[in-house]
Amino acid sequence: MVDVSVDKKSSVPVYQQISRYYRDMISQGKIAEGYRLPPERTLAKTLGVNRTTILNAYRDLKEAGLVAGHVGRGTTVLPPSAAPESAAGEVQPLRWTQLLRQQTATPWEGIIRDLHALTERKDSIILAIGLPAHDLIPAKLMRETLDALVAERGPEAFSSGPCEGVFGFRAALAGLMGQRGAPCDPDEILVTTGSQQAIDLIARVFLEPGDVVVVEEPSYFGALNVFRQAQARLLGVPVDRNGMRVDLLEPLLQRHRPKFIYTLPTYQNPSGALLSLERRRRLLELAYRFRVPVVEDDIYQDFSYDGDPPPTLKALDTAGFVIYVSSFSKTLSPGLRIGWVAAARPLLHQLVLAKQLSDLHSPTLSQLLIERLLISGDFRRHVGGLREAYARRRETMGAALRAEAPEGVSWTKPAGGFYFWCRLPDVSQAALMARAGEEQVSYLPGMPCFVHERSEHRVRLSYSHCPADQIHEGVARLMRAVRRLPRVSDPTRGRLAETRALV
């Protein structure tokens, strides 16, 4: 009898634990061709899980071409690269998943793709995604600037460029860093294909399997998934309205010596929290004492609605420990795919080497365009307007929540950024997602933003992307869904992670 066991507290869904177990057993030759997997019902009973969990696990194995199901014979292990029932002479399709490197199973690995797919949906109100509103992308300004740029530079505007980024653009970025209180040289900057690539490159150059990374809880799911894929061990530090609980950091640094700390001090995604100046200083003191670099993800810096945020960690850093990451995806357009890293030269050198393997360089046209917008002052003026527009959207969502939220829903008004981070009463998370789908509204469930599964029920509502006049209706629909669901004692029941997709 195969000795499969599961950890129900793990952030890896149980069905993935089971399918992974059988994958390992098959690839290590411990169970052979023809071996019959336990009947679904029996295994479900043995493990104390739902039968659907076993069905999902076996489906995974079937998709990987490792097992086949036959009526009456159950589920059996196939021979390696077997081509069952092939007609003579006919070339069977490849079993791709059998050939591919095994990916680290992450419960929400498809989430970014799912969120982006949502933008195509015209039939529902999208509170799930933190992309800019279409009407706040400065298309006219960018078109005019591009016209002038192409007229002047001709084909050069479309040519390839240096891996670290166009020099003039990096000089303009150094100027922007100066405005953000952290002046640096152009050669301390690497232009990346969005800040997502910056996070990925950082993971590539730092992390080996088993390395520890300290993250906030909650945190940006896109970064958590990168670190998980690198097989890092994530240690979460809770966030309150003043940002990361830096008071809890010291013992973690002492005990685990992480490779780096990943933080979003300014209008955190998803919680909207703003790290206080005192905590910023303390965080740096601890980083210096334990000699741990700090990755500062500062993509929401320009979206302050109640006065300026405290200085960035990069601006406060006197010893070069901070790796600063930011992007133009929220201010100008995500499709330009331009972000950057400002960091110490030796690190930057390694990041450039990693980037050349990844995509050679970031889009030249986007870099030249943004360089002009920065130098002309158009960028600064545009951001001033944005702040007002997004502040109005924040008010609209706040008012909608006050009007529509039933008892048991709570939130803190964010001082900046794109999100309300709401706590919901104990309704089943899976049922809420299904009901919200019926109501034609989407939101981001809180779970992907945590290292470990939580019993508290959180959702992130974005006021950035959907048309401003739909924000109230979107909140009303979601709150209607919340109101109509029965309260349960275990809100994680139904294993939301197993629904796998948001769309």
Ligand X SMILES: Cc1ncc(COP(=O)(O)O)c(C=O)c1O
Q: Which residues bind ligand X (CB under 6 A)?
A: 130, 194-196, 220, 222, 264, 269, 297, 299, 327, 329, 334, 339
| Residue whose CB is less far from ligand X, 112 or 468 | 112
| Residue whose CB is less far from ligand X, 246 or 341 | 341
| Residue whose CB is less far from ligand X, 12 or 112 | 112
What is the distance between the alpha carbons of residues 87 and 277, in angstroms, rounded to a whole number? 70
Contacts of 410 (CB under 8 A, 6+ apart): 422, 423
| Residue whose CB is less far from ligand X, 60 or 298 | 298
Question: Burial of 216 by CB count in 10 Å (0-12 exposed, 13-18 middle, 19+ buried)?
Answer: buried
Beta pairing, strands 233-240 & 294-297: unpaired
Shortest distance (Å) from residue 165 CB to ligand X: 14
| Residue whose CB is less far from ligand X, 56 or 196 | 196
Shortest distance (Å) from residue 391 CB to ligand X: 19
| Residue whose CB is less far from ligand X, 58 or 227 | 227
76 in Cβ contact with 70 (< 8 Å)? yes
Beta carbons within 10 angstroms of residue 133's beta carbon: 17
What is the distance between the alpha carbons of residues 418 and 396, in angstroms, rounded to a whole number? 12
Beta pairing, strands 233-240 & 243-244: antiparallel
Under DSSP, is residue 400 helix (H, G, I), strand (E, B) or coil?
Answer: helix
Shortest distance (Å) from residue 378 CB to ligand X: 20
Shortest distance (Å) from residue 170 CB to ligand X: 17
What are the backbone angles phi and psi of residue 29, rounded to the nearest 5°? 75, 15
Shortest distance (Å) from residue 303 CB to ligand X: 11
Shortest distance (Å) from residue 289 CB to ligand X: 27
Shortest-Cβ-distance residue relative to ligand X: 194
- Nearest by Cα to 427 from 458, 404, 460, 450: 458
What are the backbone angles phi and psi of residue 363, rounded to the nearest 5°? -55, 125
| Residue whose CB is less far from ligand X, 220 or 305 | 220
Tell me the three-class secondary structure of 105-128, residue by residue. Answer: CCCCCCHHHHHHHHCCCCCCEECC
Shortest distance (Å) from residue 408 CB to ligand X: 28
466 in Cβ contact with 123 (< 8 Å)? no
Contacts of 11 (CB under 8 A, 6+ apart): 107, 450, 451, 452, 453
| Residue whose CB is less far from ligand X, 75 or 269 | 269
Shortest distance (Å) from residue 336 CB to ligand X: 9
